Amino acid sequence: MRRGRIFFILAFFLLIVLAGVLLVTQRGFLPFTRSSQATPMPTAPPVQVVVVTQNLPKGYRLTADVLGVIPWDQASITPALFTEEELPGLINRVTKYSLESGTPVLESMLVTEGEQVEMSGSSWALNIPPGSVAVSIPIDRLSSVSYAPRSGDHVDVIGTMLVVDLDTDFQSILPNHTGVVIASGPPDPVSEQNNPLTVQIASLLKESLKNAETGETTSPDPIPLGIYGKVVIDPVLGQPVYLVPSENQRPRMVSQMVLQNCIVLQIGDFPTEEELAVTATPVPQEQPTDQGQQIEEAAAPQRPIVITLIVNPQDAIGLNYMIYSGAQLTLTLRNPNDNERLNREAVTLQYLLENYQIPIPVRLPYGIHPRIDDLKLPTPPDQVQE
């Protein structure tokens, strides 16, 4: 009796569980998986889109060599893109911006008819602080610290010039030429007027004399006319002596540090946009097929002949004047952390003799041999040509 009751309870409990499972399944509370295979959608073929094949600068005129095509998803095609069929129409179009290799060509990247390329300036101008300008000056090996300066270095500029004495009226180098005035002759019997005044001009040195009226030259006298000299009393004879210069006036040299702590913007010429485009796109080099063929050595790089400095506008004007006046400019390299500016003293021959205690050699009854008139650097023995 007891066993039958237990069996009845278990059967009733199992019936309730089965009824609950059936109810949940019919109302969709449990996931129901149906095995069904989705129908694949047809894929559209890609479209060939025009791109640039190398880096192009702003304002570049397109050619067929710099254009190519790549496959592009047809679903993401926009009217701004150019397809392969439209490539011929892009020839001779001008780029409005700088384009990198692989960039798709868009209509907004090209200059339309009658439109001007926007001038954004060079990147070097961005390195010039406001209130300053860049100016280029000539250099060589000695004037540029043996080509040591690089962009960003700090340098000083030394200017050296020659000074001569001038006649304030004629603005010509002294001494002046002199002329011999020949008085007019008797009056002309026909016109009854005096003959014109004749002036004979002589050169500064012992050269032939030229008649201003006839243009003919004559041999100079022992003391040629036309040399501006001076009269002195000979200390031995006590007689007046007329002294004339043996050569033209010698210019007097002076050197001064005209600029200090200038920043180097560039040494040498700036590359053009065409040169930058060529550098950005290296050309593959052909390998020699012959094993015995020797590769020619690359030509030695050319030394720069100019350097560009960042200075204030007034100093740029001063440098321009010194360049065109024939002054020699020399650079000195300085530490970038040294911002000290001092007033330097100009150097002349008198300064050298006094400050460096250089004595004037005494005239002695003997001298060195052979005679030396010009100073030259000695030649190393291994470079002496026999």
69: domain CATH number is: 3.90.1210.10
**Are both 97 and 128 inside the same structural domain?**
no
Secondary structure (3-state) at 152: coil
Contact present, 137 and 307 (Cβ < 8 Å): yes
SS3 letters across 21-74: HHHHHHHCCCCCCCCCCCCCCCCCCCEEEEEECCCECCCCECCHHHEEEEEECH
Overall number of domains in the chain: 3
Residues in contact with 149: Cβ distance below 8 Å, sequence separation at least 6, in sequence order: 155, 264, 267, 307, 331, 333
**Are both 255 and 310 inside the same structural domain?**
yes
**Are both 233 and 255 inside the same structural domain?**
no
Is residue 57 assigned to a domain?
Answer: yes
Q: Which of 265, 259, 256, 255 is nearest to 315 (CA)?
A: 259
- Give the integer Cα–Cα distance in Å for 174 and 252: 13
Is residue 227 assigned to a domain?
Answer: yes
Is residue 95 assigned to a domain?
Answer: yes
- For residue range 51-71, list pLDDT tens digits in order: 999 999 888 889 999 999 999
**Are both 307 and 255 inside the same structural domain?**
yes
Is residue 375 assigned to a domain?
Answer: no
CA-to-CA separations, 56 to 81, 144, 308, 370, in angstroms, rounded: 18, 35, 27, 66
CA-to-CA separations, 162 to 4, 56, 61, 159, 251, in angstroms, rounded: 137, 50, 51, 10, 5
In the predicted structure, residue 294 carries a pLDDT above the cut 90: no
The percentage of residues in the chain with a pLDDT greater than 70, rounded to a whole number, is 69
310 forms beta bridges with 134, 263
Contact present, 66 and 56 (Cβ < 8 Å): yes
- For residue range 115-142, list pLDDT tens digits in order: 666 666 777 887 899 899 999 999 999 9
Highest mean pLDDT among 1-10, 170-179, 181-190, 244-253: 244-253
**Are both 244 and 268 inside the same structural domain?**
no
- Give the integer Cα–Cα distance in Å for 89 and 168: 70
Contact present, 239 and 150 (Cβ < 8 Å): no
**Are both 342 and 264 inside the same structural domain?**
yes
In the predicted structure, residue 212 carries a pLDDT above the cut 50: no
**Are both 126 and 262 inside the same structural domain?**
yes
**Are both 349 and 227 inside the same structural domain?**
no
**Are both 258 and 152 inside the same structural domain?**
yes
- Give the integer Cα–Cα distance in Å for 244 and 206: 10
- Give the integer Cα–Cα distance in Å for 57 and 279: 12
In the predicted structure, residue 347 carries a pLDDT above the cut 90: yes
**Are both 204 and 233 inside the same structural domain?**
yes
Q: Which domain holds residue 102?
A: 47-109
- Give the integer Cα–Cα distance in Å for 206 and 208: 7
Report the 10 Å Cβ neighbour count for 92.
8
**Are both 180 and 54 inside the same structural domain?**
no
More confident residue, 248 or 317: 317
More confident residue, 47 or 325: 325
Is residue 221 assigned to a domain?
Answer: yes
Is residue 29 assigned to a domain?
Answer: no
Residue type, 324: Y
Pair of tokens at residue 285: 């080099």
**Are both 335 and 271 inside the same structural domain?**
yes
